[in-house]
Structure 1
Amino acid sequence: MLQSKYNKQSSAVSDLNSAAQFLIIDCGTQSVRALIFDRHGTLIAKSQVPLEGYFSDQPGWVEHHAHYFWDSLCRACQKLWSLPGVERTNIVGMTVTTQRATIICVDKNGEPQRPAITWMDQRTATKLPTIKWWWRLAFKVAGVKQTVTQFMENAEINWLWQHQPDIVQRSEKILLLSGYLNHQLTAQFKDSIGSQVGYLPFDYKRHRWAKKSDWKWQACPFLPKHLPELVSVGGQIGEVTASAAEQTGIPTGLPVIAAAADKACETLGCGALAKHQGQISYGTTATFNILSPKYIEPIRYLPAYPAAVPNFYTCEYQIYRGYWMVSWFKQQFAHKEFLEARETDTSTEALLDNLAMKVPAGSDGLILQPYWSPGVRYPGPEARGAIIGFNDGHTKAHMYRALIEGIAYGLCNGKEKMEKRSGRRVTELFVSGGGAQSETALQVTADIFDLPVLLPHTHETSGLGAAINVAVGLGVFDTYSDAVDSMCHVSRRVEPNPQNVPLYRKLYRQIYRKLYPRLAPFYRIIKNLD
């Protein structure tokens, strides 16, 4: 069943017995993690290297030296091998799951030609390509002309053609971070279908590069040579090369399997496969997701992304800066808690969470709209954040709880939109990501959604979802349902507080849902002042 040299040499692979383990590289925004899971979903070992050194040469730019991602991966792996319980001979396969929409230009040897442009980067192109007249007419009739224009402005390839055309011309490939790391491991210019999230000429409905007649080739004009070969989720991208093995300590010849992007893997790692289940990721970008066998745009003209299950879609509603706002709040308002946390060997987040738990539901009328960054279609490019309802009794703790409630309100709004478009009703909710470690966030989410919240047995749900891709891809399990039954477990169930639900329902329906339509005209005026 398994074809690599390493597979033939390893009894663990040939037997596919209970000792089989899976190596996962999870490269997020804040860290690179090397993880080992077994076939029961147990996290055997974890090594983590923080990602620092993001830099901005201009306001709004967020770049990183591409080699740093690979160097951090190597460091994480080398630290892993000395941890208790780690036996390299038990590892039967590996995969990579990464942050989405981070772009790296490389030459024919995979050497970066410029720093990576990360997903947080907000630069825009001012010299836009021309789209054929019939497409322009169609977009105008459909009422999405501004959406398409914003798509072109945000597409990194258009900025590169405008400002650094020589780099575009000499680049052999323009890869997502996942494709870059896959090449570093295997020397193959291949990437997973499940990782294709970004400003690319990708057909999200058919899970392939768009046809040459598709408008996306005109809107983001990659050269055909720039794009990697796509591999289905669960397919084999290649094998670990001798060079990569020397740098990482990963066994030479270990099969590298195609996983999906981090958010899609989180949904799978929670086990949220059923129609009645939704999943929230409280990460740097906060999202509400459902898995669907049908292509359903979460908001009209915004695509459903490839799922971590082959031929499925992740229908996703985003709050772009999501739990990044926790970091923002810490930097701006939590200096006292930061110092106290350092002295007491705890975290600033834990201290803030304790304060927020003492504030009543609804934050005594303080309501936050969490659009700290604009969206492509909803909220629109004019969007801003807002906090309303202040009085002299409000404290820092009220603001922090209002922030948590505001993100939950926003995702609840996304759930309603998703249910309307899909015809499905979500009655059970998984919550994962860094924010899921907050007791306040879990209870607030249950209360605002008025649904039971299920907490997975591990915080490393994106890594677990990627491990499921390896397990099914290598035939350890026949189906994704079988793998989820064996590897995904619920550690806790948080029920809504019936005393809080009516208050949140009133605040959400009578105030929160009306905030953006009422404030949008003022946001447009502010935007024109920029």
Structure 2
Amino acid sequence: MADDLFLAIDVGTGSVRAALVDVKGKILSIAVREHEQIVPQFGWSEQRPADWWQGVAAAIREVLETAPDARSRISAVSACGQMHGTVLVDGNGVLTRETAPLWNDKRTVDYVTAFERAHAPAEYLAESANPPTPAWPGFKLQWLRDNDPSAYARTAAVLMPKDYINLKLTGEIAMDRTDGGASFLMNPQTGEWSDKMVGLLGLDKSKLAPLRDPVEILGHVTEAAALETGLRAGTPVLVGGADYPVALLGSGVCRPGIGSEVMGTSAIITAIAEKPLLDPSVSNVGTVEGNWGAFMLLESGGDAMRWARRAFHEKQLSYADIVAKAAEAPAGSDRLFFMPYLVGERLGDHRNARAQFFGIGAGHGLAHMHRAVLEGVAFAVKRHINILDGISGSRLERVIASGGGAKTKLWMTIKASVYNIPILVPQEAECGIVGCAAMAAAATGRFSRVEDAADAYVSFAEEIRPDPRWVDVYAKMQPFFEKLYAHSQALYNDLDGMAS
């Protein structure tokens, strides 16, 4: 019975979770502790790292009660966590600031705008692997330097959320390269902090935590942490990784040619590549196994269906009713197009983009409108896939889907047919927990590589294949969607001008 369990920890935006996972990758139990986002003013979003630790300690104690002698059976602790939450600690590991700005905190927008005005993409893309955006910790550190100089001055190390939990568990300070690569401060070729990026942002490199690989052993549970959590002192703790790349691993997305689509409020498409795909419209995150995940985000994924439910039905119909209505319309919605840019675009020159229906005729009805919304999101994601394929020079061969939208069979079949590649859905929805277990399995020598652990741990509930009849229809429509996208750009500034 000894050493036949892993403890996985996931520090999310809404809660922290602790899970016991057996060495075959099966989740045995999960304990959850919720925490709040603090919104001091519009556009800001913070949390207290102390709340994360309090929740983690309680969740660990609860989950240890679910299996006999669990404490002595855990061979390793492996954590992942929300990205970009910028935690400041002093030389003793004590917080210099009670709260940390989160990934969705927008207070840095003026710093991003100033950076974009001063620097062309050619100056920073190869050094940072990314375009500028308010999420990156590099810009959060600029804001903290200028607006909380006392805390910044006392800071000895900048950490991400899971790193703070690891510090509390082990007393060791480090950041892994998946979080580091999504900071706007790490050189993607060397895997070390970029002197150039640190200089461009006017930051202090000595405050950046040492960068390590996710599957390394960071340290061991201290006596103090053992008292708080119930864990066995001396239990190995991994460096761990950012939640998104760890979830990619835990869904089987860990090799070039395989993509991931997270179908939530937004739609995030990620293509695994050996190197970052450098383009002002593409973001890149390092992956656990050492590749890169190049990703593009469509702000309105599931949100487009939510909008349609409100706009057409004042929320009186269920989503299932709307999908059933959409199924009454033919593939292609009789040449009715929906541009799904309800809240603009995240990156690029067209953050002020708008949504529209195009091609409405007297024969179109509600069923066509609903199907066009589903198809429009698919065409928009396919546009992103085409961009990623074009930069990488190789095509995506299959997509692994997760999120709420992955449960809608009609939408999945539409997407598979628009992309003209199969879509697979993992059997286990807790991909982050599975990814943590795969890391622990590799770190403890049960597999020689994390990819092998993922192969063993991830299975798929279903495979949705393209409908050949729909593929032909959508293949003719995609170029028109792209043309409509390009032609519409010229109108957005004019539309904004009307408001003034």
Hey, what does 1:74 align to over in structure 2? 57
Distance (whole Å) between structure 2 residues aligned to residue 114 and residue 329 of structure 1 = 41
Partners of 2:326 and 2:53 lie apart in 1 by 39
The DSSP-based 3-state class of the residue aligned with 1:491 is strand
> Structure 1 stretch 468-477 or stretch 317-326: which is displaced more?
317-326
Residues 11, 17 of structure 2: 8 Å contact kept: yes
**Cα distance in 2, alignment partners of residues 173 and 24 from structure 1:** 24
Matched-pair contact (CA < 8 Å) for 1:369–1:515? no
For residue 165 of structure 1, the aligned residue among 149, 159, 164 is 149
- Alignment partner of 1:12 is 2:2: yes
Match of 1:384 in 2: 353
3-state SS of the aligned residue for 1:499? Answer: helix
Q: Per the alignment, do residues 304 and 119 of structure 1 end up closer, same or farther by CA in structure 2, a change over 3 Å counting?
A: same
TM-score (norm 1): 0.80
How far apart in 1 are the matches of 2:325 and 2:67? 37
Q: When the two structures are superposed, what TM-score results if normalisation uses the length of structure 2?
A: 0.84
User: Would the alpha carbon gap of residues 440 and 254 (structure 1) be closer, same or farther in structure 2, given more than 3 Å must change?
Assistant: farther
- Residue of structure 1 equivalent to 2:401: 431
**Judging changes above 3 Å, is the alpha-carbon distance between structure 1 residues 47 and 448 closer, same or farther for their aligned structure 2 residues?**
farther
Gaps of 5+ in 2: none
- The correspondence for 1:233, drawn from 208, 214, 218, is 214
Q: Structure 1: how far apart are the matches of 2:147 and 2:119? A: 26
Change (3 A) 1:128 1:82: closer
Where does the alignment leave 5 or more consecutive residues of structure 1 unmatched? 1-10, 14-19, 341-347
Partner of 2:448: 478
* Corresponding letter in the other structure for 1:58: Q
CA distance in structure 2 between the aligned counterparts of 1:65 and 1:394, rounded to whole angstroms: 50
Distance of 2:313 and 2:379 partners within structure 1? 23
- The residue aligned with 1:469 is 439
Which is further off, 420-429 or 519-528?
519-528
- What's the offset of the Cα at 1:331? 8.0
Equivalent residue for 1:61?
A: 44
Shift of residue 125, structure 1, vs aligned partner: 5.2
Distance 1:247 1:35 in 2: 17
Does the CA contact (< 8 Å) of 1:39 and 1:486 recur in 2?
no
CA contact (8 A) 1:277 1:290 kept: yes
CA drift at 1:234:
0.8
Distance in 2 (CA, whole Å) between partners of 1:300 and 1:464 is 32
* C-alpha spacing 1:333/1:308, structure 2 compared with 1 (3 Å): farther
Give the alignment of 1:22-61 within 5 angstroms. 22-51=6-35, 53-61=36-44
More displaced stretch, 480-489 vs 80-89: 80-89
Cα 1:387–1:220 change in 2 (3 A) is same
Which has the larger displacement, 519-528 or 190-199?
519-528
3-state secondary structure, aligned to 1:123: coil
Match of 1:181 among 165, 172, 179: 165
Alignment-mate amino acid for residue 457 of structure 2: M
Q: Please give the per-residue CA displacement for 1:341-392, whole angstroms capped at 9, x wherever unaligned.
A: xxxxxxx766665565556544562513246254333xx3633341324689
Q: 1:138 to 1:463 in 2, by over 3 A?
A: closer
Residue by residue, what CA displacement relative to the aligned partner does 1:28-63 show, whole Å, maximum 9, x if unpaired? 334333223223322222233444x32433332222
Equivalent residue number for residue 392 of structure 2? 422
Specify the alignment match of 1:5 in structure 2. none
Q: CA deviation at 1:525?
A: 4.6
3-state DSSP of counterpart to 1:155: helix
RMSD, matched Cα: 3.8
Contact 1:430–1:456 (CA under 8 A) maintained in structure 2: yes
The 1:276–1:527 alpha-carbon spacing in structure 2 relative to 1, beyond 3 Å, is same
**Is contact 1:308-1:465 (8 Å) kept?**
no
- Equivalent residue number for residue 77 of structure 2: 94
Inter-partner Cα distance in structure 2 for 1:419 and 1:155 = 30
In 1, Cα distance between the equivalents of 2:228 and 2:311?
A: 40
Q: Partner of 1:6 in structure 2?
A: none
Shift of 1:102: 1.9
Matched-pair identity in %: 23
Is 1:448 paired with 2:418? yes
